Structure 1
Amino acid sequence: MEQSDIKIVRPLGNLERLYLVRNNLRYNANVCTAVRYQCKDFFSTVSIKSSTGLNDNIRKSLRPIIYSALTELILKEPALAIGIRDPKTSRPLFVHVPTIYLSRQVRFDIIQSDEKLEQILEREHDKVFDLSIETTLLWRVIVGVNIKRNDEICVIFCYHYSMTDGIGFHSLNTVFYNSLNNIVRIHKNIRNKSSLSNIPSIVNVPYAQIFKPCDELLDTNLSVKLLMKKVVCNALFPSFINSKSDYCTAGEGHEIDVKDFHTKLKIVTIDSDQVNLLLSRSKQQKTTLHAIIHTALLFAACHSLADLNEDKTLYSLTPISIRLCATPSITDQTLCIYGFTVSIKKLNQGFWNVSRMYKSKLAKGSQKSIQRTGHLKFISKANEKWGKYFRRKRKLNPMGKKALLDIPNIGVWTPHGDNESKDTSVKILDCVLSQSPDVVGPVITVNLLFYGDGFKCTFVYQKGAVQPKEKLNQFIEEFRKILAVVAKEGDWKGK
């Protein structure tokens, strides 16, 4: 396809360029979503059960179903038909990709357990999108087949960070689920499924505008007070003083000593009974479920990851709110990251006091967090200067990291809307959201996704960033234990 045939959609915004440069430097790569589906009446007729592994018959049986659902999704989400032109220049552009070959975007694998799903997600997070060709799409799909059963598949979407400001778990998976459900409902009672076998593997996508960059939707102008503070601090204090901190890390090593940056991931399930207890306790204690989860993670980190020196400080990042769908109508508190600091000494005040403090500081700090994103306007657009900026950050802090935790997504998936659909041919078993760790970001990234009455957490980190590796398992178990205690009328102290 000639370059002249490719239409420009728009330039990347500041935040999107930030994600792109990190991808170019292999500092982070992508976001993954995974949903397990079950349909006894339909999948059994297409024979996905096998004692010999993933064979061509299974792929041939599932391919038309997946292609049909994906085709509908692509036509409803124009952002799935874009690539990036000049990704390593100061002015990268989103371009329209008019023809999509599904056979290049979809692959099949075997997923029969959470452990196997963890392994596949780890592999996908390490696989950076190669954007050397502008028609390379910014997403891919892995269809996991449980060959021990006749009724279960897992669909994984993996997509580039630069898409995350306008498309996410909800918009991708809700459309895909509804399409899959309609296909099964229409065809499950038809013995001859010849109409499905004729589904094309090529999708022609008409040109359309995509979501606007967040820079245009949020007031990210730095206040004079915040700008002056930043200028004065940088002018008066040498970089070695600015970089010195008493923030806790999760290991004694420095990132330049670690050669293995492979992603490691753990999936944790919190059941509906415990969630209902936590919701009840949040009302009693005048806090929120968001604050409870965040506080439990901080306390668990204090016990399992951090040096228990009381002069140390825990630093975490968390979202103000979550954009659920790709739409330009967002509030002024969307997609903003709030940095929360608390000294280990203050954790001795008890779990509920810290939870209420977090809730209060989050409410007061939202606008300041929005303004902080404005500094991206003042950073050079030259790609190599971004690289120097990130490489310097890597050298300043142990493991190149300042924050101990990042909790970027605490979301709820409601594919049926307010009312559960009565005509549901496909059952959703569970769902997971994860994102690749940032080489110059926090030590551990935690994503939480509620579906039904329970939720799943993913804990993602770089191999070598948590030392020794047993600390991660201790951290997860401590998190579980704290939630169990506070759910049952208890409190928890810092030590």
Structure 2
Amino acid sequence: MSTPWGKKSSKDGPKTKMLRYLGNNEKHQLAMYMQGHHRGTTLSCQYYLPIRLTFVDADRELKSLVRTAVAAVILKHPILQVGIAGADTKAPRFVQLDSLQLSNHIEWRHILDDDQGLNLCYYNLLGPELDAEFHELEKRPGWRVVIQRCESNRTFAVMFVFNPPHSDGVSAKIFHQHLLEEFIAQIETGTDDINRFIDGDILKLPSSPPELPPPIEQVMKLPVTPKLALKSLWHELKPPIFRREASLAKWVPIQLTPYKTRPRDFTIWLDNVNLIRASCRDHNTTVTGLIQALVLVSLSSRLHSTAAKAFKSTTALNLRRWMGSKPAGNPCLEPEQTMANYATHMTHTFDAKLVSSIRASLATDGDSSREKPKPLPLNMLDQVWIVAARARRDIEEKLDLGAKNDHVGLMRCVPGRQRRMRDAERRPREVSWSVANLGVIDGEIEGRPESIKYAQYTSSAEASGAALVVSLVTVKETELCVTMTWQQCAMDERLAAHVLYDMEEWLGQIASIKRGPPRWPADLEFIEYPTVVS
């Protein structure tokens, strides 16, 4: 029989030992998953191989090296070793596992084609992987790795898919950076330190309890003022008649089923990325602030004022910045190298006056019939930069405020998370879009041919959260990938696709303006050749 502490008798299977209860943020993420509001998140990276591992006869060696490297990362990060017991109760808890069946967490897909085939296979795989459930939460950690190998080139793609109670976007970056390091270590030394834990398809985990990273509320103070606590409580409990904010996203009704994520993306080459960043610095903003402004302008131009008078959006933030190295009471904790969910977000509100002025500048009030994106008029670009700078100021004010009155701190003021999710299903959607910028992945290790050449960060749809989820990531000295997802059954497909096309067009326009017209070098000499008379 199962006990309240998650232990099982030998008749029911292997014993599990409780390690700790989930923290407030972890329970919130778990409730979203259990109620079908969100499924998974993925960070996919393309790895560049040394020549000797590209041949067909090296396939078995490559699989062995990757499997051992993944095992090494698992043993390095305790959160990858644990299950969740009591996921549907008020007190879910992390439990220790004796072993992992690697085939449950590592899957290979072979493509007998070129780069185009690899890309096509990736996009056919991305949506289903984002939406796939994590089975047997108590027995299996909530993550998996899907590896795509194309035998005609020197790359293979690693898709790390995770359940947010276990990790966040920064954790996914850590996973890939450590996987690259361990992959190189296996190529160099072929050490048996990891292989001794592997018995066929089974990874034997250490018998001593893993030292799980603590929940954020045990690492740092998350103070909430009484005024904000009461305001938050009223927001959760107030009757529908009082939910009349102009920024509500009523144009995207909440619909849980059928749950299907629709992902789309585009890539910006390095030269244009540098030009866009330079333009952002010139206008006192960041790429995140610019993306916030561009989505606002796109939706304002394509939705009629009767459908959306104002908008609300969010920006994802990393709580690790306020934790510091080896925080008090946790002398072994290095947050910047620790896989855990230490994420939060902040809110931006774009009021009716601002949205109306954007529509006036574009001389439109919801031109949803416009198929192709058009360049922005210069006066509208000026307004884009004003909004982008304002979004950056919002973020800076939040960073200056620190963890005070943070979204995660408020979670302790709102009991009954799964009930809260069910209540949200009956309300109007609040957030129109979210932006999560994962920043830069350093995919190079000096003197080594193995490297990360490309990355894509993608979240599954938010059934009751942001209607559009925009995710960004860059590999150092390579291109920027922008991904957008939405729930197919709730969102107008054409509208969502047009927002993405607008962003791509306008980012290219900004790069082109920054580049300026082509100029001849000042010292260029034109040689006049004599006329040849026949």
TM-score interval (norm. to shorter): 0.7 to 0.9
- Give me the TM-score of the superposition, normalised by structure 2: 0.76
Cα distance change of structure 1 residues 351 and 392 upon mapping to structure 2, 3 Å threshold = same
Alignment-derived partner of residue 414 in structure 2: 379
Say yes or no: does 1:43 pair with 2:37. no
Alignment-derived partner of residue 345 in structure 1: 356
Q: Percent identity?
A: 17
Count, aligned residues? 451
Q: What displacement does 1:449 show?
A: 0.5
Contact 2:469 2:485 in 1 (8 A): yes
- Structure 2 spans left out of the alignment, 5+ residues: 1-7, 112-116, 327-332, 337-341, 362-381, 515-534
Deviates more, 1:445-454 or 1:370-379: 370-379
Alignment-derived partner of residue 227 in structure 2: 225
Say yes or no: does 1:396 pair with 2:427. yes
Q: 1:484 aligns with which of 458, 483, 508?
A: 508
Q: Distance in 2 between matches of 1:73 and 1:466?
A: 38
Deviates more, 1:71-80 or 1:215-224: 215-224
Say yes or no: does 1:435 pair with 2:459. yes
**SS in structure 2 opposite 1:162?**
coil
Alignment-derived partner of residue 304 in structure 2: 307
Paired residues for 1:291-370 under 5 Å: 291-304=289-302, 306-308=303-305, 312-321=309-318, 323=320, 328-329=333-334, 335-343=343-351, 344-347=355-358, 348=361, 350-366=383-399, 367=401, 370=405
Alignment-derived partner of residue 284 in structure 2: 286
- Give me the TM-score of the superposition, normalised by structure 1: 0.82
Q: Distance in 1 between matches of 2:235 and 2:458?
A: 35
Q: What displacement does 1:429 show?
A: 2.5
Alignment-derived partner of residue 190 in structure 1: none
Q: What displacement does 1:229 show?
A: 3.5
Cα distance change of structure 1 residues 266 and 427 upon mapping to structure 2, 3 Å threshold = same
Contact 1:303 1:475 in 2 (8 A): no
Contact 1:434 1:447 in 2 (8 A): yes
Say yes or no: does 1:407 pair with 2:405. no
Q: Distance in 2 between matches of 1:233 and 1:249?
A: 16
Q: Distance in 2 between matches of 1:284 and 1:278?
A: 10
Q: What displacement does 1:369 show?
A: 7.1
Q: Distance in 2 between matches of 1:428 and 1:232?
A: 47
Q: What displacement does 1:308 show?
A: 4.4
Q: Distance in 2 between matches of 1:264 and 1:342?
A: 26
**SS in structure 2 opposite 1:141?**
strand
Q: What displacement does 1:62 show?
A: 4.0
Q: What displacement does 1:309 show?
A: 5.4
Q: Distance in 1 between matches of 2:350 and 2:319?
A: 24
Q: Which amino acid aligns with 2:356?
A: K
Q: 1:18 aligns with which of 28, 34, 39?
A: 28
Contact 2:21 2:94 in 1 (8 A): yes
Q: What displacement does 1:104 show?
A: 2.3
Alignment-derived partner of residue 367 in structure 2: none
Say yes or no: does 1:144 pair with 2:160. no
Q: What displacement does 1:87 show?
A: 1.2
Q: 1:266 aligns with which of 261, 264, 267?
A: 264
Higher Rg = 2
Say yes or no: does 1:129 pair with 2:134. yes
Cα distance change of structure 1 residues 220 and 131 upon mapping to structure 2, 3 Å threshold = farther
Q: Distance in 1 between matches of 2:175 and 2:282?
A: 36
Paired residues for 1:226-265 under 5 Å: 226-230=228-232, 238-247=238-247, 249=249, 251=251, 254-256=253-255, 259-265=257-263
Q: What displacement does 1:46 show?
A: 4.0
Say yes or no: does 1:211 pair with 2:236. no
Q: Which amino acid aligns with 1:363?
A: E
Alignment-derived partner of residue 76 in structure 1: 76
Q: Distance in 2 between matches of 1:44 and 1:234?
A: 56
Contact 1:39 1:425 in 2 (8 A): yes
Contact 1:69 1:180 in 2 (8 A): yes
**SS in structure 1 opposite 2:343?**
coil
Q: What displacement does 1:165 show?
A: 5.1
Contact 2:108 2:146 in 1 (8 A): yes
Contact 2:443 2:452 in 1 (8 A): no
Q: Which amino acid aligns with 2:346?
A: Y
Deviates more, 1:118-127 or 1:442-451: 118-127
**SS in structure 2 opposite 1:90?**
coil
Contact 1:185 1:425 in 2 (8 A): no
Say yes or no: does 1:466 pair with 2:501. no
Q: Which amino acid aligns with 1:441?
A: G
Say yes or no: does 1:177 pair with 2:184. no
Q: Which amino acid aligns with 2:468?
A: I
Q: Distance in 2 between matches of 1:311 and 1:263?
A: 23
Q: Distance in 2 between matches of 1:249 and 1:406?
A: 13
Once the two structures are superposed, what CA deviation does each residue of 1:242-269 show, in whole Å capped at 9, x if it has no partner? 32332364856x334x742211111211
Cα distance change of structure 1 residues 122 and 231 upon mapping to structure 2, 3 Å threshold = closer
Alignment-derived partner of residue 53 in structure 1: none
Q: What displacement does 1:17 show?
A: 0.6
Cα distance change of structure 1 residues 123 and 369 upon mapping to structure 2, 3 Å threshold = farther
Q: What displacement does 1:69 show?
A: 0.9
